[in-house]
Amino acid sequence: MMDYTYTLFIPLVPLFVFLILGLLGHKMPPIVAGLIGTLGLGLSAVLSYFTAMNYFWTSHVPETAYTSIKGFEVPWLHLTEKLTIHLGVLIDPISVMMLVVITTVSLMVHIYSIGYMKGDPGFYRFFSFLSLFSFSMLGLVLATNIFQMYIFWELVGVSSFLLIGFYYEKPSAVAASKKAFIVTRFADLGFLIGILMLSFNTGTFDFQTLTNPHGPAIAQAGGVAFMGMSVLTWSLIFIFVGGAGKSAMFPFHIWLPDAMEGPTPVSALIHAATMVVAGVYLVARLFPVFALGAPDALHVVAWIGGFSSIFAAVIACTQTDIKRVLAFSTMSQIGYMMLALGVSGYGGEEGLGFMASNFHLFTHAMFKALLFLGAGAVIHAVHSNEMGDMGNLRKYLPITHITFLIACLTIAGIPPFSGFFSKDEILAAAFKDNKMLFAIEYIVAGLTAFYMFRLYYGIFWGKKTHYHHTPHEAPKVMTIPLLILAFGSVFAGFLPFHNLVTSDGKGFESHIDWMIAIPSILIGVLGIAIATVMYKSETAIPDKMAQSFKHLYKWALRKFYMDEVYLFVTRKIIFRYISMPIAWFDRHIVDGTMNGIAGITQYAAYSIKGLQSGKLQQYAFVFVSGTVILVLIFVYLV
Amino acid sequence: MLNEFMFILIAVMILVFSVLTVLTRKILRAAVYMLFVLISTAGLYFMLSYNFLAAVQLTVYAGGIVVLIIFSILLTSHLSERAVMAPFKQSLFSALATLAGATLTLVTILRFSFVPNVGADPNFNITDVGNALVSYNREGYALPFEVVSILLLAAMIGSIVVAKKEPTLRDKEAKTDK
Amino acid sequence: MIQNIPLSYFLVISTAMFFIGIYGFLTRRNLITMLMSVELILNSVNINFVAFNKYLFPQHLQGHFFMLIVIAVAASEAAVAIAIIINIYRNFKSIDVENVDEMKF
């Protein structure tokens, strides 16, 4: 049995970097801060690759299942016999995969940020927050029990808040960071309720005990029923609510578009590749419980994922801010991942959806980070986020152009890029389980290709040749991560995921089902073709289409008025009918009681004050009458 | 017969003059009434044949303290000025308290039957009293005697210090001028 | 003991004198008259001691000597009180007890 204690350093190195940069960063020249951050992440990345090599190949006995190993665990908070919270490191296929994803993307973002954030007065602060985030995310994926995961979940939320609101002098950025934190915190309420219900009914927090298919946990909790569904189902639905908040699933998605107020490397790291997949990771982590104990919860997961993906795809077709398009694209792709988990079964071939979801998570991290970093390079060159200010950039930004194109082809699902392989597996899993969901996802695949290429043509083609100053290609420190991520996007599809990451640890035979693959390639090509016709050269077709579908266009442009709905609910209903009475109660009754007590004390003091009047005869009078009364009581009445 | 008559006379004098002491408006008259009270008390002691005690009462109380009080009255107030009496409410409440206390005490005393000692009654003369005062055997009172003398010393020194005249500003100026 | 005069007569006198003294202490405004009331109280106590000594314990002298001590204490206390009153007169220019109420809230 391999000793995995060294994995403890994978999250701890970024934590030390955060502390060093946070406390001493203002004293060092910015480039040193950047280098310290990057080197720390680099060390974590090397350790992660080493762990992956070890776990998946070197120390693995062939033909056996991959088991989950606790690399390290200490009891942290011991309250009672049953209620003990441990902190530790759990090594199993999905956590090792996530280690590789997180450290790779974070390292790329670090290198990129050295160039992108150059000259910003908060340079060292940025790197310290990035390290904090890396620490939190790594701790989340390595959690051995659900409570540790909750702790790091909240830490990730805090890091996201700090990073979205990085430009804290911009009111829109501050508002966006607050929105993100509050919405995810609200969803985390559901998460906490779910945790408590689950652990109360199964008696444990620990993942290994909970997810043991032969263990007592699933059967135990599955027995108790409440309002038609078992307690286990209820608790898993609540836990999924928490995951939906972090992963920007409908209806908790409202924070993701606004989170684009943060610097672009932040969007690449947090809101594309790592934090938003935390919800997917949560469901994957608890997947045996979902699949074996509460299949109804899996239905909820699948349908919410499916709905979110088509919802986001429709909106993305109309947005003009390039980062917003990418944000909705992220929401759509995560919907894919959730759906894949939702239609999956457990064990061997049945677990195709599980494998496909994780595969897509892996590839999506690569190409979405690439897309965001490329968008960052474009924004860096043009100094604007709007598509209207861009055009014809393929002449000025060659490397960015090529890498962006590769990423767009990947997301559209064109072979031999990695996106094709992962999306195909998801479609195959959906087709086997639920034809309706398959149909939705099929349409979304087409829409994805369409809006991504609309974006691509809008940025890099078209006739715009007037720029205030000629846009220049990004410096090497920014383009090298683009190239590395492009390399990953192209070749990651060939990884044998069906042997490495499966629902029960055992590998299974998998092949490309051409019955599904060919239609998906076709609809991808169709989407690209329509986009080419409409957007490659500036034509009047988009405007005419917008005119004919006027209402749908307006609704999609306004993100289906979800923000307005939320504002209405909070302002008119919650504020007026719940918050204001509570505020009135607090001000008048609670404060009134306190003031009343103080007032009574003051009044009593004023009244008693008279006893100390300084008048000798008054004192003597009290003395005499008191003595008389006391004598009366003690001699005659007692 | 004579005993009772004398006793009633002395008792009436005591009570009447003490009431007058506390009710009169003129201060010097109050001092004189008090003098009469003290003399009557001394008479009471003579009746009980405690001669030494009566003599001490007359000397110290009637002779010393009353003189002291008269001196201080002369030093501190205008003789012809009529003293202001307390407001009605205060007198009422004080009277009530006093009456209550008096009733309580009287009831308690009168209900208790004191058994007088009908044994021998050695009339102590002054020699016996003197011997008892300075002897330090079981019947001696040397220790209280010494303690009281220390108390008197302390009181003397204390009153001198308290009543000493502080040098006023004019005296200070006069000193520095020299 | 005196023939035909029971002990309770003396006690009644002393009680009356005591409470008259208390009334005077509570009612009079002049500090010196208050002092005189206090002397009345002490005197009544003296009568009490002597009466008990004579009627209940004629062969002992404790009451006798205690009365002497009480007289000595009363004298010293009167002296100190006069000294204080003179000081108050110097500072306040009057010896009304209403003026001596500085130690209050």
Give yes or no for B136 touching A (CB within 8 A): no
Q: Which helix (H) or strand (E) holds A75?
A: strand A69-78
Give the SS3 label for residue A597: helix
Percent of chain A surpassing pLDDT 70: 95
Task: List chain B residues with CB under 8 Å of A637.
Answer: none
Cα A443 from Cα A527, distance rounded (Å) = 10
Inter-helix orientation angle A550-557/A541-548, to 10°: 100
A495: Cβ contacts below 8 Å, ≥ 6 apart: A359, A362
* Nearest chain B Cα distance for residue A635, angstroms: 9
Task: Tell whether C59 lies on the interface with A, counting CB pairs under 8 A.
Answer: no
Integer Cα distance of A330 and A325 in angstroms: 9
> In this complex, is the C-beta atom of B12 within 8 Å of any C-beta atom belonging to chain A?
no
Say if pTM beats, i.e. exceeds, 0.80: no
State how far residue B113 is from chain A, nearest Cα, in angstroms.
Answer: 17
3-state DSSP assignment of residue A626: helix
ipTM of model: 0.90
- Per-residue pLDDT tens digits for A2-18: 677 888 888 999 999 99
CB-based contact (8 Å) between A540 and chain B?
no
Distances (CA, A) of A315 to A257, A310, A326, A607, B142: 11, 9, 11, 72, 114
Compute the distance between CA of residue A446 and CA of residue A523 in angstroms, rounded to an integer: 5
DSSP string, A383-427: S--BGGG---TTTT-HHHHHHHHHHHHHHHT-TTSHHHHHHHHHH
- Best mutation site among B92, B103, B104 for testing chain A: the one with the most A CBs within 10 Å? B104
Tell me if A108 sits within 8 A of A484, measured CB to CB: yes
Cβ <8 Å between B94 and A621:
yes
Contacts of A624 in chain C (CB under 8 A): 22, 26
For residue C62, the distance in angstroms to the closest alpha carbon of chain B comes to 9
Q: Find, in chain B, the residue whose alpha carbon is nearest to that of A622.
A: B97
Mutation target vs B (from C1, C15, C35, C67; most B CBs, 10 A cutoff) = C15
* C97: chain A residues, CB-CB within 8 Å: 615-617
Chain C CB contacts of A615 under 8 Å are: 97-98, 101
CB contact under 8 A, C105 and A616: no
Residue A324 has pLDDT above 80, yes or no: yes
Per-residue confidence (pLDDT) for residue A627, from 0 to 100: 93
Do A441 and A430 meet the contact criterion of CB atoms below 8 Å apart? yes
Strand extents, DSSP E, A218-290: 225-226, 229-230
Looking at the complex, does the CB of residue C92 fall below 8 Å from at least one CB of chain B? no
Structure tokens at A433: 């389980």
Give the per-residue pLDDT at B68: 92
Q: From CA B18, how far away is CA C43, in angstroms rounded?
A: 11
The 3-state DSSP class for residue A206 equals: strand
Average pLDDT of the residues in A330-336: 91
Radius of gyration in angstroms for the set of CA atoms belonging to chain B, rounded to a whole number: 23
Query: Hey, are the CB atoms on B163 and C16 less than 8 Å from each other?
Result: no
- When scoring C71, C77, C88, C98 by the number of chain B Cβ atoms within 10 A, the one with the most, hence best to mutate, is C71
Question: Are the beta carbons of A617 and B86 separated by less than 8 Å?
Answer: yes
Q: Is the pLDDT of residue B178 over 60?
A: no
Nearest to A206 by CA among A168, A149, A276, A153: A149
CB contact under 8 A, A635 and B108: yes
Give the mutation candidate from B20, B44, B49, B65 for the C interface (greatest C CB count, under 10 A).
B65
Q: Which of A501-515, B142-156, C15-29 has the lowest mean pLDDT?
A: A501-515
Closest-CA residue in chain B for C58? B121
* Contact call for residues A197 and A235 (beta carbons, < 8 A): yes
pLDDT reported for residue C83: 92
Q: Is B150 on the interface with C (CB under 8 A)?
A: no
User: Touching check for A607 and chain C: CB below 8 Å?
Assistant: no
**Res. A384: pLDDT tops 90:** no
Measured in angstroms, the CA of A594 and the nearest CA of chain C are apart by: 26
Task: Quote the pLDDT of residue A199.
Answer: 83
Residues on chain B touching A617 (C-beta within 8 angstroms): 86, 90
**Considering only CA atoms, which of A19, A71, A88, A9 is closest in space to residue A42?**
A9
Predicted confidence (pLDDT) at residue B34 exceeds the cutoff of 90: yes
Show the tokens assigned to A50: 């080493």
Q: How far is CA A310 from CA A357, A433, A530, B94, in A?
A: 17, 19, 18, 95
Task: Answer whether residue B14 shows pLDDT above 90.
Answer: yes
Q: Which chains share 3+ C-beta pairs under 8 angstroms with B?
A: A, C
pLDDT (mean) for A621-635: 91
For residue A181, is pLDDT > 60?
yes
SS3 A330: helix
The pLDDT value given to residue A133: 93
Task: Write out chain A residues lying below 8 Å of C101, CB-based.
Answer: 613-616
Residue A402, burial from CB neighbour count under 10 angstroms (0-12, 13-18, 19+): middle
Kindly list the distances between the CA atom of residue B113 and the CA atoms of A327, A549, A635, B120, in Å, as whole numbers in the listed order.
108, 120, 17, 21
Mean pLDDT on A594-612: 89
| A623, A625, A629, A636: best to mutate for the B interface, most B CBs within 10 A | A625
Query: Which tokens go with A390?
Result: 């861009």
CB A132 within 8 A of CB A138: no
For chain C, which residues make up each domain, given as ranges? Answer: 7-92
Which of these, A457, A427, A448, A424, lies nearest to A439 by C-alpha position? A427
CA distance A337 to A306: 9
Contact B53 C64 (CB under 8 A): yes
Name the closest residue on chain A to residue C19, using Cα atoms: A624
Kindly state the average pLDDT of the residues A443-465.
Answer: 85
* Cβ-Cβ contacts under 8 Å for A419 (sequence gap 6 or more): A363, A364, A367, A409, A410, A411, A412, A413, A489, A493
Give, in order, the Cα–Cα distances in Å from A31 to each of A34, A129, A528. Answer: 5, 16, 42
Q: Is B81's pLDDT higher than 70? A: no
A382-402 mean pLDDT: 82
Interface of C with B in 14-33 (CB under 8 A): 15-24, 26-30, 32-33
Which three-class secondary structure state does DSSP give residue A85? strand
Category of A335 on φ-ψ map: left (φ > 0), alpha (ψ -120 to 50) or beta: alpha
The more confident residue out of B22 and A394 is B22
The answer to whether the Cβ–Cβ distance between B159 and C79 falls below 8 Å is yes
* pLDDT of A635 higher than 90: no
- Least confident stretch, A123-127, A260-264, A465-469: A465-469
Q: Give the integer Cα–Cα distance in Å for A293 and A289.
A: 5
pLDDT at B39 over 70: yes
Which residues in B lie closer than 8 A to residue C57 (C-beta atoms)? 117
Answer whether C11 sits within 8 Å of B109, measured CB to CB: yes
Length of chain C: 105
Print pLDDT tens along chain C (105 aa): 667 788 888 999 999 999 999 999 999 888 889 999 999 999 999 999 999 988 888 888 888 899 999 999 999 999 999 999 888 888 888 888 888 888 777
pLDDT of residue A518: 86
Residue A475 pLDDT greater than 70, yes or no:
yes
- CA angle A402/A407/A409 to nearest 5° reads 95
Mutate to test the interface with B, among C5, C7, C56, C70 (most CBs of B within 10 A): C5
Length of chain A equals 638
The C-alpha atoms of residue A361 and residue A279 are separated, in whole angstroms, by 11
What average pLDDT does range A586-594 have in this prediction? 90
User: What is the token pair recorded at A290?
Assistant: 């979902």
Average pLDDT of chain A to the nearest whole number: 85
How many other CB atoms are found less than 10 A from the CB of residue A237? 20
CB count, 10 Å around CB of A585?
A: 12
CATH 3.50.50.60 fits C7-92, yes or no: no
Instruction: Tell me if the bond preceding A75 is cis, omega within 30° of 0.
Output: no
| Cβ atoms of C19 and B72 closer than 8 Å | no
Instruction: Tell whether B79 lies on the interface with C, counting CB pairs under 8 A.
Output: no
Residue A505: CA atoms inside 13 Å, Cβ hemisphere, count? Answer: 20
Work out the burial of residue A506: count CB atoms within 10 Å of its CB; fewer than 13 is exposed, 13-18 middle, 19 or more buried: middle
pLDDT, mean of residues A264-291:
86
Partners of residue C81 in chain A, C-beta under 8 Å: none
